[in-house]
Amino acid sequence: MNPLEGKKLIVAVTGGVAAYKAAELVRLLGKAGADVHVVLTRGGARFVTAVTFQALSGNPVWEDLWDARMPNNMAHIDLSRDADAIVIAPASADVIAKLVHGLADDLLTTMCLARDCPLLVAPAMNRQMWEHPATRRNVACLNADGAVVLGPDAGEQACGETGLGRLLEPEALCEQVIGFFAPKLLAGRKVVLTAGPTFEAIDPVRGITNISSGKMGYALALACARAGAQVELVSGPTGLAAPAGVHRTAVNSALQMRDAVLAVLPGTDVFVGVAAVADYAPASVAEHKIKKTQGEMVVTLTPNPDIIAEVAARDDAPFCVGFAAESQDLDRYAEGKRQAKKLQLVVGNLVQDGMGRDDNQIILYDAAGRHPLPRAHKSVLAQLIVEHFASLLAAYLEARTGV
């Protein structure tokens, strides 16, 4: 299920203070299932040692073009021949220039010239070096030659200046590499998702909410981004970081969520309503904190909008995926929800099986029937859900447009 499972990756580390991030990247790639082999340049070894990378990768580290550990003394050939990709992180301005001009004066540049696998380059340098016309030309040439440039990021730099040129954080880099290998089932598609709970205020400090963690919605947003989609995530309050490659709009109440969804909906191919939207909200919100000394408190509730039903009822409705979290009689309620709201797919589960947990057990309901999935981590389930609705999407959009 993991796109990196069994992949052999060459991670090349060049000179720059950002080399320290490469150690964590190697660890994360290995944790994701990749077999990682590190090539360390002379400049890279000035910042992080080979011992660190050998311990984190579990493989010998390669530094010398003439390394005799290769039986034929051709590490630049043998390392890349069965590799699935070479990832240079950090990639200095010097190494980028050498790659563009086909120079081959060390193990890394010789290996890149002799490679027959994809090349992913993550630049890291001072902001003025990054903005220099020579660097801009070199990066454009790298792209034209088929290399994939990852980043850079903007922010504070080791030199004390601020701007573009920072190496992407290891987690973001790892996600970019995973995304590179993931099947692009949703390439060219726009996906809007809702996730997390909503919070319906009673007064400035109290409100009505639920125990939804947002984990399933965020896992789905990430899976859609990996599949090549443009992803808009409208999220209620959670403690989760925005997934890499996903644009997040943070909201609190159901009304705010509805407004945010409608704002990003034009051009959407798939709408996924994962959020546990509160069915009711207080009819009015107290301006100040309600004191306990006031005695019994009575809260009048009013129905919240049904966001997914509203989206599904549009003339230009996208493919709609709903979620049904029930405490009993899952088949009846989930399939009933699919038909009543005219949804193309409903993901159903019993709340006792997955609410707030990292794993879940779900059943998919569509026009062809019910499709039980085995209990799995939510990241795995997210990928299976994406695969399922991606297989139905083209036919739905064709029927909707009549093309």
Query: Which residue type is seen at 18?
Result: A
Contact 22, 164 (CB under 8 A): no
- Which of 129, 173, 210 lies closest to 12, judged by CA? 173
Q: Element (H or E) spanning 119, and its range?
A: strand 119-123
- Name residue 303's beta-bridge partners: 280
Q: What's the DSSP call for residue 268?
A: -
Contact 334, 341 (CB under 8 A): no
| Residue 38 Cα distances to 59, 60, 279, angstroms | 8, 8, 53
Q: How far apart are CA 139 and CA 151, in angstroms?
A: 11
- Which of 3, 109, 11 lies closest to 56, judged by CA? 11
Whose tokens are 């062809």? That residue is: 368
Contact 15, 47 (CB under 8 A): yes
**Residues that are catalytic:** 159
